[in-house]
Structure 1
Amino acid sequence: MGSITPLDHSTLDDLRTGFEARPQNRLAMNAVTVAGIEKVALNYERARRLQRRFSVSVDNGAVTNQNRSGRCWLFSSLNVARFVAKKALNVKEFEFSQNYAMYFDKLERFNYFLGNMAGLITAGEPVDSRLFQHLLSDVMGDGGQWTMAMNVYRKYGAVPQDLFPETASSRNTGEMNVQLRSLLRTAVAHMSANPEDIESITADALRAGHRILTIHLGEPPRSFDWEWTDADGVFHRDGETTPVEFWKRYVDAGLEDYVCLVDDPRPEHPKGRKIGIEHLGNVVDGTPTEYLNVPNDFMKDCARRILSDLRIPVWFGADCHPMMDRENGAWATDLFSYGDVYDVDFDMDKETRVRFADSAMNHAMAFVGVDVDEDGTTTRRWRVENSWGDKIADKGYFTMSDDWFSEFVYELAVPRTMLPQEYLDALDKPAIMLPAWDPMGALAR
């Protein structure tokens, strides 16, 4: 291994001289220090041409707001579900309780983590191993996946938001998560020191976790009286209803049976094969978090067909940060000219970005529109329902160029019936299992 050369005064002088030798550097410094890099690097012409008109669009009403939480995967999946529920209820506006979904996800994840760690300790996994430390560092965040959301809805159903509204801690989960995380790590420390008492330590920790969650988020309803007035002014009353009954009655769209497609660009993970992530899940005995690795163009085709034929929003996961104009709600691969400002060539492709930790799925949203050329198959841009409130973008709706989809969209949830036979056969075969820290196991936040 070569030695690392320290920075000395001579090197610093060379760096300063090189900077001053290029007049554009000082011009860039003056502009960026005053206006910020996004305003300086913005490609005005590209932004102007990224129009907000779509040949296919499904209206899902006012956008939701996850506030200071990482619940985008729950918000986006419930945004798909509420589109279905609004039609079934014949109402213009409706919102599910994201707080209810998070409550049971965290309770289940608490139990899942304790069981997972107990198994590792019993098997003799070293406390300082990469796996053990990775699981401890990533515990009790807000992020998740489509399959994890369906595990929650299948087991616990859903309730209207006004029957279990947001709380201070659901809007801003940071402090609650700190306490839950500390509780879990304390329990694991006690398990490691006293493996013969794992069962009682787990039971005590679960009771404490439930107590903390209920104090922060409230006590979710077991049943409720459901009544509403529809868009035609007609009053309806269902009477006493459980959350599971409500979900089955008004979200009868087979969402729990959807398949997650993923675009893993690394050639060692073949297209047409199923991928799984070790130790990733939330509900014990729930559906495992697995994906079918497919070409990006197949994902586009599925999204386009769902919007055009089924007329329903499409859940997807992406790396939302690159080339994003958050204020105006736009994504395009050439929306910013960072390299021109810095005189740097950012030349990594999708595979290289994944391999060298520069990109991974980190945010979930829903497609609600697409602009298709006259040939019916070539897409120009996509309309996206986000969960960042209505004060930005087009009242909270974003526009994505088709080339940005290719580079930064990683995951899509689609009906199983949309898959060709070769992909259906692949679902019945064992998954290629990737380690817990693999980028394909990244969670949407």
Structure 2
Amino acid sequence: MKPISLKTLENLEQSYQKDVHQKAIRRALAKTPIDQIAYVTEAELHTQFRFSIDIDTLPVTNQKASGRCWLFAGLNVVRELVAKKYGLKDFELSQNYQAFWDKFEKINYFLESMDNFLTCDSDDRTLKHLLQMGIQDGGQWDMFVSLVDKYGVVPKDQMPETYASSNTGAMNRLINIKLRKYAAEARALAKQHQLKEKDELKARVLKELYGFLCTNFGLPPKNVRFEYVTKDNQYQSTTFDSPKAFFDHIGINLHDYASIIHSPTEDKPYLRSYTIAYLGNVIDGKPIIHLNLPMERLKALVINQLSDKEIVWFGADVSRDGDREKGIWDNQAYDYETAFQMSFSMTKAQKLDYLQGAMNHAMVITGVNLIDGQANKWKIENSWGSEKGQKGYYLMSGTWFDENTYQAVIHKKYLTDIELKAYESEPIVLKPWDPMGSLAK
């Protein structure tokens, strides 16, 4: 390793002092954010909220200070089908109900997973990963399917939001302290060959954390009263014996949908299915399966589904090149390379392999603008409330979508026979920390 010499520092400063461009940028940055310095006004010509395919949807939802985007997006897909079936103009399903059972199942998943690490070294990488992750708000489409399969859904008024369900940070912190404490105590008991005591400890922790969830979220309802008013102002009320019976009555099979990813990395050949080790919530629930396809094929599948007036659940990296006030993500709207006279560009594969890109938010695609069959912008229903963007709807440019979208959930009827066979093949198991599992953080 070579240290920086004083001569090197002197040369660097002399070179910088001669750079008139950087001098101007430095003065501007004293009072101006970086994004504004790099903003390209001309890009606005291509990001107007007008779309050739634009599906009418119900008002946007708000996940508030929580990471439940995947649940909100999944329930937004289901509620559109409920609204269509019953002729509703405004309706929400309870995100709190879904989050309660997700947390409870994740707690059990963690406790059971620790049985595989009772005697390994304390610095085992997988153990450290699981301990670091604990349980989080995030999740995957297939995890949503597992929850609905087991617990059904309920209208929002049957289990409304609480402060804790909308602001999950403190609750998650305490749950994870409890889980890490269990891991330490369970490993200590295992070393002493006290497996019966370890199992008793596990049952006690599960009971304690179930009560903790009830205290934070409220008690989940056991039956459903579905009370509503139709678009033509007709009042209706129906009672179901269970949330599962209510969902079954809706008549949608979530297993008809497949998760398609675009991961152009060397370790993931296209037309292969993948899963991620130790990623899940409901034990023995639906396995997490991703079919990797080229981006052009993923986009074609999304467009096919939108053309049939059905919205699309998807996952992307929304941490860059965006304006949340305007509700626009567009990588052509920011020119950092000209502003700072150096390259920042990386391929999508490089971003995945070198921790610069990964899914961190799930939403719903409700529209697209096609020019000569090619998508140049996409309309997005977000779950950040109606105050930002266009009443809560956002726009993604075509180039931004290509670079930062990693997953879309598509009805299997749009897949070719070869694609369907690949999806149903034995999946390749990826490491627990693979970026295709990052949405569950």
The bucket for the TM-score relative to the shorter chain is over 0.9
Residue 292 of structure 1 aligns to a residue whose secondary structure is strand
Code of the residue aligned with 2:386 in structure 1: it is D
Structure 2 CA distance for aligned equivalents of residues 11 and 206 of structure 1: 59
- Equivalent in 149, 164, 174 of residue 154 of structure 1: 149
Q: Which runs of structure 2 are paired with 1:140-219 in the superposition (5 Å)?
A: 140-195=135-190, 196=195, 197-219=197-219
Find the counterpart in structure 1 of residue 323 from structure 2: 325
- Any idea what the Cα deviations from partners look like across 1:380-412, whole Å, max 9, x if unmatched? 211001111111111111111112221111011
Structure 1 CA distance for aligned equivalents of residues 413 and 64 of structure 2: 35
Find the counterpart in structure 2 of residue 20 from structure 1: 17
Code of the residue aligned with 2:52 in structure 1: it is S
Residue 320 of structure 1 aligns to a residue whose secondary structure is coil
Residue 137 of structure 2 aligns to a residue whose secondary structure is coil
Code of the residue aligned with 1:167 in structure 2: it is T
User: Cα offset for 1:240?
Assistant: 4.2
Find the counterpart in structure 1 of residue 338 from structure 2: 340
User: Cα offset for 1:133?
Assistant: 0.2
Structure 2 CA distance for aligned equivalents of residues 4 and 82 of structure 1: 60
**Native 8 Å contact 1:63 1:387 kept in 2:** yes
- Equivalent in 374, 379, 396 of residue 383 of structure 1: 379
Structure 2 CA distance for aligned equivalents of residues 322 and 147 of structure 1: 26
- Any idea what the Cα deviations from partners look like across 1:278-327, whole Å, max 9, x if unmatched? 11111000011110111111111111111111x12100001111211221
Structure 2 CA distance for aligned equivalents of residues 134 and 317 of structure 1: 22
User: Closer, same or farther in 2 for the Cα pair 1:4/1:96, shift >3 Å?
Assistant: farther
- Any idea what the Cα deviations from partners look like across 1:322-366, whole Å, max 9, x if unmatched? 211221111222120112222220121101111111001111011
Structure 2 CA distance for aligned equivalents of residues 331 and 394 of structure 1: 13
Q: Which runs of structure 2 are paired with 1:234-383 in the superposition (5 Å)?
A: 234-250=234-250, 252-309=251-308, 311-373=309-371, 375=372, 377-383=373-379
Code of the residue aligned with 1:263 in structure 2: it is H
**Native 8 Å contact 1:325 1:331 kept in 2:** yes
Question: Could you tell me the TM-score, scaled by structure 1's length?
Answer: 0.95
**Native 8 Å contact 1:226 1:241 kept in 2:** no
Give the RMSD, CA atoms, in angstroms.
1.5
Structure 2 CA distance for aligned equivalents of residues 68 and 14 of structure 1: 48
Structure 1 CA distance for aligned equivalents of residues 2 and 70 of structure 2: 43
Structure 1 CA distance for aligned equivalents of residues 8 and 205 of structure 2: 55
Code of the residue aligned with 1:113 in structure 2: it is F
Q: Share of identical aligned residues, percent?
A: 36
**Native 8 Å contact 2:109 2:280 kept in 1:** yes
- Equivalent in 429, 432, 435 of residue 436 of structure 1: 432
**Native 8 Å contact 1:326 1:392 kept in 2:** yes
- Equivalent in 124, 127, 130 of residue 129 of structure 1: 124
Find the counterpart in structure 1 of residue 230 from structure 2: 230
User: Cα offset for 1:30?
Assistant: 2.2
- Equivalent in 86, 103, 108 of residue 105 of structure 2: 108
**Native 8 Å contact 2:360 2:438 kept in 1:** yes
**Native 8 Å contact 2:224 2:246 kept in 1:** no
User: Closer, same or farther in 2 for the Cα pair 1:277/1:444, shift >3 Å?
Assistant: closer
Code of the residue aligned with 1:417 in structure 2: it is K
Code of the residue aligned with 1:152 in structure 2: it is L
**Native 8 Å contact 1:316 1:367 kept in 2:** yes
Structure 1 CA distance for aligned equivalents of residues 440 and 74 of structure 2: 12
1:423 maps to 2:416: no
- Equivalent in 11, 27, 30 of residue 30 of structure 1: 27
**Native 8 Å contact 2:262 2:406 kept in 1:** yes
Question: Could you tell me the TM-score, scaled by structure 2's length?
Answer: 0.95
Residue correspondences, number:
436
Code of the residue aligned with 2:238 in structure 1: it is D
Structure 1 CA distance for aligned equivalents of residues 13 and 97 of structure 2: 56
Find the counterpart in structure 2 of residue 412 from structure 1: 408
**Native 8 Å contact 1:63 1:397 kept in 2:** yes
Structure 2 CA distance for aligned equivalents of residues 32 and 256 of structure 1: 51
Structure 1, unaligned stretches of length 5 or more?
A: none
Structure 1 CA distance for aligned equivalents of residues 100 and 162 of structure 2: 11
Residue 82 of structure 2 aligns to a residue whose secondary structure is helix
**Native 8 Å contact 1:70 1:444 kept in 2:** no
Structure 1 CA distance for aligned equivalents of residues 359 and 299 of structure 2: 16
Residue 274 of structure 2 aligns to a residue whose secondary structure is strand
- Equivalent in 81, 84, 103 of residue 81 of structure 2: 84
Query: Which 10-residue stretch deviates more, 222-231 or 359-368?
Result: 222-231
Structure 1 CA distance for aligned equivalents of residues 114 and 287 of structure 2: 17
User: Cα offset for 1:12?
Assistant: 4.0
Residue 60 of structure 1 aligns to a residue whose secondary structure is coil
Structure 2 CA distance for aligned equivalents of residues 103 and 24 of structure 1: 54
Find the counterpart in structure 2 of residue 67 from structure 1: 64
